[in-house]
């Protein structure tokens, strides 16, 4: 009798364990390169909290849209802007109404050399450098923001011959980080550690000088029925995720 | 249609490829000859070094070139000392990277052609009191002509087709480092598929034509020589 009950208990726990495994899903996420560091942390927290796993792919927002239009199997898209997700929504590749701003991106003029970039960005006027790195404005929102800024400062014509363009913001960072470009426009999140510029010198560009970089997230059609994808988007709005986003220097949408 | 900007990338690509091919032939000829005749224990190592770009992903080569040629790298320090500045993001840097990347496509056909000549013509030349240099120019070079043709075509075509290394060390600068493969990539990413088709289709035809010439015109000569 006792043995029988024990057997039954064992069966029930096994079934429970199996169903728990079945519930813990996984989701494939396309993430704009500038959000690499915070997203790695958020994904780790998300896995701990929900049991779901998130597989992350990093690149330029423009590339992801091109890939998605040709059937790339991503569930969630974290863009570096708001135009690309809106475009996906219009072309019916994303779930309507699932779009929201997860972070406000901040632009920084950065050099790997100590004391090279002053805190007012006067170096742009003074010159003396051979290469100014930025992300391709056609493909990457941070590149477009840098163009905005230079146009506002009326320095575009003067500095355009010095441009070296990264295919995305991560490659732009690489150009500056290896010293091949003396300075360049990157995302604040790339150079921030514990609330401070981690190395080199930087000018955090005042937000009044460029159009805000609203970074939108959206649920894609292939992720519409995936609980892990839906849970991840919810998690992005939760206090632990917002704390990580803020820690890397992003603004939060009201 | 093909725009002015597209044409400029095409022109730049052919400029890089032509210059790189010239340098590869200048560098590759003595190298291939040495690899053919040497009994040195270095031979295996040098052979492996030359063939490396065949197996390495371009991202590895691009990454190391960026680090080595940067201001903190040994090559970068050397070029700064020479007074020419650093090489990444420059036309010269692109040519240097292309030479390294496509060199096996020049050295290996030359090596094969040199080896096919064999000892006999060289010994005959020696009995006629030809100096080694004279032998090389009047016997080896003419006999290895099909090999040179193959090496030139392959070296040129492979440089035209290069993408990863250029993307990493080029910086996408119009007129200086924006070659046609990068331009196609940018068109595709910007969803300008029409422009991408013009360039990509053109490159496809070009590559096919080059290989067709190689297999129909050059190869039979090499066989019937």
Contact B6, B202 (CB under 8 A): no
Smallest CA–CA distance from B193 into chain A, residue: A66
Contact A180, B71 (CB under 8 A): yes
Between positions 48 and 107 of A, the ones with CB within 8 A of B are 60, 62-63, 65-66, 69
> From residue A249, how far is each of A80, A192, A237 by CA, in Å?
15, 7, 16
Is residue A125, in this structure, part of any structural domain at all? yes
A164–B70: do the CB atoms touch at under 8 Å?
Answer: no
Q: Distance from A23 to chain B by nearest Cα, in Å?
A: 36
Is residue A13, in this structure, part of any structural domain at all? no
Question: For A94, which DSSP code?
Answer: B
Residues A123 and A186 in one domain: yes
B69–A62: do the CB atoms touch at under 8 Å?
Answer: no
| Joined tokens for residue A11 | 């069966």
For residues A67-93, average pLDDT: 92
Distance of CA A2 to the CA centre of its chain: 57
Encode pLDDT of A4-22 as tens digits. Answer: 766 776 666 665 555 544 4
Residues A191 and A240 in one domain: no
Domain ranges for chain B: 4-224
Q: Distance from A11 to chain B by nearest Cα, in Å?
A: 51
Assess A139–B contact: CB distance below 8 Å, yes or no.
Answer: yes
Residue A179 with chain B: CB contacts under 8 Å: 70-72
Tell me the whole-structure pTM to 2 decimals: 0.78
What pLDDT shows up at residue A13?
62
Encode pLDDT of B139-163 as tens digits. Answer: 999 999 999 999 999 999 999 999 9
Q: Distance from B96 to chain A by nearest Cα, in Å?
A: 16
Please give the order of strands across the beta sheet that includes A100-105: A53-59, A26-32, A76-78, A213-219, A100-105
Lowest mean pLDDT among A22-31, A161-170, B138-147: A22-31
pLDDT cut 70: percent of chain B above it: 97
Assess A181–B contact: CB distance below 8 Å, yes or no.
Answer: yes
B89–A166: do the CB atoms touch at under 8 Å?
Answer: no
Residues A219 and A95 in one domain: yes
Phi, psi of A35 (to 5 degrees): -95, 15
Position of tokens 């059609």? A221
| Joined tokens for residue A180 | 């091949």
Is residue A147, in this structure, part of any structural domain at all? yes
Q: Distance from B66 to chain A by nearest Cα, in Å?
A: 7
pLDDT cut 90: percent of chain A above it: 75
Residue A178 with chain B: CB contacts under 8 Å: 66-67, 70, 72
Tally of structural domains, chain A: 2
What span, in angstroms and rounded, lies between the C-alpha atoms of A48 and A246?
20
What pLDDT shows up at residue B190?
74
Say which CATH number the domain at A145 has.
3.40.190.10
B189–A63: do the CB atoms touch at under 8 Å?
Answer: yes
Please spell the DSSP secondary structure of B86-155, one letter per residue.
--TTSHHHHHHHHHHHHHHHHHHHHHHHHHHH-SHHHHHHHHTT--HHHHIIIIIHHHTHHHHHHHHHHH
B172–A165: do the CB atoms touch at under 8 Å?
Answer: yes
- Strand A26-32 and strand A53-59: the pairing is parallel
Q: Is the pLDDT of residue B225 over 50?
A: no
Residue B186 with chain A: CB contacts under 8 Å: 136, 138-139
Residue ranges of E strands in A162-212: 163-166, 183-187, 192-193, 196-197, 201-204
Lowest mean pLDDT among B34-38, B189-193, B197-201, B212-216: B189-193
What span, in angstroms and rounded, lies between the C-alpha atoms of B123 and B134?
13
Residue of A67, A131, A162, A180 for testing the chain B interface, max B β-carbons within 10 Å? A180
Residues A145 and A200 in one domain: yes
Instruction: Return the closest-CA partner of residue B89 out of B73, B74, B102, B70.
Output: B70
User: Closest to B186 (Cβ–Cβ): which among A69, A138, A163?
Assistant: A138
Look over chain B and give the mean of its residue pLDDT values, rounded to a whole number: 90
Is residue A3, in this structure, part of any structural domain at all? no
Range of the domain at A61: 25-104+214-247
Residue A70 with chain B: CB contacts under 8 Å: none
Interface ipTM = 0.70
Residues A120 and A194 in one domain: yes
B89–A180: do the CB atoms touch at under 8 Å?
Answer: yes
Q: Distance from B23 to chain A by nearest Cα, in Å?
A: 25
Residue of A111, A113, A160, A165 for testing the chain B interface, max B β-carbons within 10 Å? A165
B172–A136: do the CB atoms touch at under 8 Å?
Answer: yes
What span, in angstroms and rounded, lies between the C-alpha atoms of B151 and B174?
29
Q: Is the pLDDT of residue A1 over 90?
A: no
Q: Looking at the domain that runs over B4-224, which CATH code has it been given?
A: 1.10.3720.10
User: Closest to A138 (Cβ–Cβ): which among B89, B173, B190?
Assistant: B190
Contact A184, A176 (CB under 8 A): yes
Position of tokens 């119009």? B174
* R_g of chain A, CA atoms, integer Å: 22
């Amino acid at each position: 009798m006792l043995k029988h009950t024990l057997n039954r208990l064992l069966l029930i726990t096994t079934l429970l364990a199996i169903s728990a495994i079945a519930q813990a899903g996984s989701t494939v996420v396309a993430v704009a390169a500038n959000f690499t560091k915070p997203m790695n942390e958020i994904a780790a927290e998300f896995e701990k909290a929900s049991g779901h796993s998130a597989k992350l792919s990093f690149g330029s927002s423009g590339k992801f849209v091109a890939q998605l239009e040709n059937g790339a199997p991503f569930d969630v898209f974290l863009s570096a802007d708001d135009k690309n997700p809106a475009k996906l929504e219009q072309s019916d590749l994303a779930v309507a109404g699932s779009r929201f701003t997860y972070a406000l991106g901040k632009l920084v003029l950065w050099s790997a050399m100590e004391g090279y970039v002053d805190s007012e960005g006067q170096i742009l006027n003074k010159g003396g450098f051979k290469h100014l790195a930025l992300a391709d404005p056609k493909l990457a929102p941070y590149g477009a923001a840098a163009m905005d800024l230079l146009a506002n400062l009326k320095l575009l014509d003067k500095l355009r011959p010095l441009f070296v363009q990264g295919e995305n913001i991560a490659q732009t960072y690489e150009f500056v980080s290896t010293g091949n470009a003396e300075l360049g426009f990157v995302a604040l999140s790339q150079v921030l550690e514990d609330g401070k510029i981690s190395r080199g010198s930087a000018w955090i560009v005042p937000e009044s000088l460029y159009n805000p970089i609203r970074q939108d997230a959206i649920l894609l059609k292939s992720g519409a029925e995936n609980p892990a994808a839906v849970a991840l988007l919810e998690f992005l709005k939760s206090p632990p995720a917002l704390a990580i986003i803020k820690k890397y220097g992003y603004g939060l949408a009201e | 249609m093909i725009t002015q900007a597209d044409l400029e990338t095409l022109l730049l690509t052919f400029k890089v490829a032509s210059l790189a091919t010239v340098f590869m032939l200048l560098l590759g000829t003595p190298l291939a000859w040495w690899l053919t005749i040497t009994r040195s224990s270095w031979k295996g190592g040098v052979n492996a070094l030359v063939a490396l770009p065949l197996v390495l992903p371009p991202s590895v080569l691009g990454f190391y070139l960026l680090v080595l040629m940067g201001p903190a790298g040994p090559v970068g320090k050397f070029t700064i000392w020479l007074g020419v500045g650093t090489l990444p993001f420059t036309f010269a840097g692109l040519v240097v990277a292309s030479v390294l990347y496509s060199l096996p496509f020049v050295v290996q056909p030359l090596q094969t052609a040199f080896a096919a000549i064999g000892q006999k013509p060289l010994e005959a030349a020696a009995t006629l009191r030809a100096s080694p240099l004279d032998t090389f120019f009047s016997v080896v070079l003419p006999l290895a002509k099909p090999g040179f043709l193959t090496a030139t075509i392959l070296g040129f075509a492979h440089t035209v087709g290069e993408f990863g290394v250029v993307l990493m060390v080029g910086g996408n600068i119009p007129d200086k480092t924006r070659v046609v493969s990068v331009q196609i990539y940018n068109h595709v990413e910007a969803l300008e598929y029409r422009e991408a088709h013009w360039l990509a289709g053109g490159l496809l035809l070009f590559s096919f034509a080059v290989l067709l010439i190689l297999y129909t015109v050059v190869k039979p000569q090499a066989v019937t020589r």
